[in-house]
């Protein structure tokens, strides 16, 4: 820790969910903090050990309840992705986006603290925000995980349209990435992005097929890698100042004999190493993610409308392509993904299609009733053909259970939604196919 921290009113207190959508501060001596939230099974499917679970309730209450009364959290969490309300005072459908700042900070801090003991040694935590609170959120995450856990800030291009009424047309969100083990250790277990074979070319009609090329130089001075190279045009080259050739002279001659060295500029340029498809390693992720690679809010909204054509959907849902990249980088099949702000259920839907285990939590029972549950049912039944279904070769399968965790401060009442959820669960087809590991 750097010794620098953010202060806010009631920082020494805990923020508990209250009723349907409120929060209240409680002191550390409050007996409620020692009480376990009540857990109820919704529908006919009891949760299985290490099974997929949709939880209706607040994230902090859900973590306390699952930790104490089930085996669902027996596995350590490999990835946490949360997309909390941005607290930007925006007019958005389906959820509130305005909290008193100290409550927003306490809400984020308390739920990250509750997650921390359940993280695996190679876990990562991704928090998706916009400019309204991201700078304060980073200080909160520094305090929870240590500033040495910071990995990077991802800039995601969320829209293509231009907003002409603003001082600047904001077209990006920021995703903070933290790894409790530190970026150097986490790098050894995270996945690279797939190589782009579309960039391969066959500029010399090599019978082995298309290839990419890389500089035949390396940083620093190495005496064994300082030697003259004569290009096909007759020019004699030495390594640029402060660099060496990529390999020793004997290795260079072997590569040249194998036709693995290419000289651009009609044989007069500096040597390049030819790399065929099977020799290309994956790509280290950039920190700027364009819409062409990871989709936009508008594309995600169109996907939701294909599932829910008769009603209003979220204004700014996240595209499955964005979550596919995050889950690919951070996890392996079979590992546990957790989202405490499920919304329309994108994280769980993508994790399911990618054969990961998941726990997703949504406090608003109306949202669960209208979006989260029906969407996840469409995923397991194979009816959802959008998003990454084709990329993941997803045709349906798997299962999940639904739990309701009551807040420790006041019980929300929405009996009509509860009845509708139970009806949806009891009438759905029983899919016996298991998700491939």
Share of the chain above pLDDT 70, in %: 94
pLDDT given at position 163:
86
Query: With contact defined as beta carbons under 8 Å apart, do 65 and 50 qualify?
Result: no
Query: What is the pLDDT confidence band of residue 315, given thresholds at 50, 70 and 90?
Result: confident
DSSP string, 284-298: PPPSEE-HHHH--HH
Express each pLDDT in 220-251 by its tens digit: 998 999 999 999 999 999 999 999 999 999 99
Query: With contact defined as beta carbons under 8 Å apart, do 304 and 313 qualify?
Result: yes
Express each pLDDT in 251-300 by its tens digit: 999 899 989 999 999 999 999 999 887 777 788 999 999 999 999 999 99
Strand 77-82, strand 336-339: pairing: parallel
pLDDT at 377 over 80: yes
- Please state the pTM of the whole predicted model: 0.82
Which of the two residues, 301 and 72, has the higher pLDDT score? Answer: 301
Q: d(Cα 325, Cα 203) in Å, to the nearest integer?
A: 31
Helices 297-307/320-330 angle, 10° precision: 110
pLDDT given at position 3:
72
* Three-class SS state of 79: strand
Tell me the longest C-alpha to C-alpha distance in the chain: 84
Q: How many CA atoms lie within 13 A of 334 on its CB side?
A: 2
Which of the following CATH numbers is that of domain 14-191+283-427: 3.40.50.280, 3.40.50.150, 3.90.1170.50, 3.40.47.10? 3.40.50.150
Using only the alpha carbons of the chain, give its radius of gyration.
Answer: 26
Query: With contact defined as beta carbons under 8 Å apart, do 5 and 49 qualify?
Result: no
Q: d(Cα 130, Cα 240) in Å, to the nearest integer?
A: 43
Distance of CA 336 to the CA centre of its chain: 12
Query: What is the pLDDT confidence band of residue 431, given thresholds at 50, 70 and 90?
Result: very low
What are the residues facing 128 on neighbouring strands?
A: 175
Query: With contact defined as beta carbons under 8 Å apart, do 62 and 408 qualify?
Result: no
Q: How far is CA 15 from CA 58, 106, 114, 402, in A?
A: 11, 6, 12, 25
pLDDT given at position 60:
96
Question: Domain spans of the chain?
Answer: 14-191+283-427, 197-279
Q: Which class for 136: exposed (0-12), middle (13-18), buried (19 or more C-beta within 10 A)? A: middle
Q: d(Cα 119, Cα 127) in Å, to the nearest integer?
A: 15
55-81 core/surface letters (b: 16 or more CB in 10 A; e: else): bbbbbbbbbbbbeeebebbebebbbbb
pLDDT at 131 over 90: yes
What are the residues facing 17 on neighbouring strands?
A: 23
The angle at the Cα of 366, spanning 341 to 106, to the nearest 5 degrees, equals: 35
Which of the two residues, 319 and 48, has the higher pLDDT score? Answer: 319
Give the range among 127-141, 167-181, 305-319 with minimum mean pLDDT. 305-319
Q: From 101, 32, 95, select the one nearest 61 (Cα to Cα).
A: 32
pLDDT at 47 over 90: no
pLDDT at 430 over 60: no
pLDDT at 39 over 80: yes
Give the range among 105-109, 204-208, 340-344 with minimum mean pLDDT. 204-208
Q: d(Cα 175, Cα 130) in Å, to the nearest integer?
A: 8
Q: d(Cα 355, Cα 154) in Å, to the nearest integer?
A: 25
> Sign of torsion, CA 21 22 26 28?
positive
pLDDT at 82 over 90: yes
Q: d(Cα 317, Cα 338) in Å, to the nearest integer?
A: 17
Q: How far is CA 338 from CA 54, 118, 210, 315, 368, in A?
A: 10, 10, 41, 23, 16
Strand 14-18, strand 22-26: pairing: antiparallel
Q: Looking at mean pLDDT, say which of 40-49, 121-130, 388-397 comes out highest.
A: 121-130
pLDDT given at position 181:
96
Where would I find the H helices in 203-343? 249-257, 264-267, 291-294, 297-307, 320-330
């Amino acid at each position: 820790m750097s010794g620098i921290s953010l202060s806010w009113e009631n920082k020494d207190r805990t923020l508990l969910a209250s009723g349907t959508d409120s929060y209240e501060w409680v002191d550390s001596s409050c007996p409620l903090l020692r009480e376990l939230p009540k857990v109820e099974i919704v529908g006919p499917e009891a949760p299985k050990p290490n099974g997929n679970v949709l939880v209706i309730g607040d994230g902090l209450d859900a973590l306390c309840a699952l930790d104490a009364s089930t085996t669902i959290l027996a596995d350590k969490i490999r990835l946490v992705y949360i997309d909390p309300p941005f607290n930007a005072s925006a007019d958005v459908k389906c959820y509130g986006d305005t909290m008193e700042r100290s409550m927003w900070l306490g809400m984020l801090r308390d739920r990250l603290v509750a997650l921390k003991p359940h993280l695996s040694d190679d876990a990562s935590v991704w928090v998706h925000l916009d400019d309204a609170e991201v700078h304060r959120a980073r200080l909160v995450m520094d305090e929870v995980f240590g500033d040495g856990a910071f990995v990077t800030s991802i800039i995601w291009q969320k829209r293509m349209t231009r907003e002409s009424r603003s001082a600047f047309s904001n077209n990006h969100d920021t995703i903070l990435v933290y790894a409790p083990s530190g970026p150097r250790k986490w790098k050894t277990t995270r996945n690279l992005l797939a190589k782009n074979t579309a960039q391969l070319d066959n500029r010399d009609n090599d019978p082995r097929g298309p290839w990419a090329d890389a500089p035949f130089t390396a940083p620093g001075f190495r005496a064994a890698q300082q030697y003259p190279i004569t290009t096909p045009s007759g020019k004699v080259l030495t390594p640029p100042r402060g660099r060496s050739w990529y390999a020793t002279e004997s290795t260079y001659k072997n590569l040249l004999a194998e036709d693995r060295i290419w000289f651009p500029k009609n044989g007069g340029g500096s040597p390049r190493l030819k790399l065929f498809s099977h020799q290309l390693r994956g790509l280290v992720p950039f920190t700027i993610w364009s819409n062409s690679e990871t989709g936009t809010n508008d594309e995600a909204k169109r996907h939701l409308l294909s599932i829910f054509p008769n009603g209003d959907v979220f204004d700014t849902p996240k595209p499955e392509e964005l979550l596919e990249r995050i889950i690919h980088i951070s996890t392996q099949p079979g590992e546990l993904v957790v989202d405490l702000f499920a919304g329309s259920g994108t994280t769980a839907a993508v994790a399911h299609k990618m054969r990961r285990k998941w726990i997703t939590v949504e406090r608003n029972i109306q949202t669960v009733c209208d979006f989260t549950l029906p969407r996840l049912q469409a995923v397991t039944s194979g009816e959802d053909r959008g998003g990454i279904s084709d990329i993941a070769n997803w045709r349906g399968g798997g299962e999940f259970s639904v739990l309701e965790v009551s807040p420790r401060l006041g019980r929300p009442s929405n009996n009509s939604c509860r009845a509708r959820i139970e009806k949806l669960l009891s009438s759905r087809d029983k899919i016996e196919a298991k998700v491939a590991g």
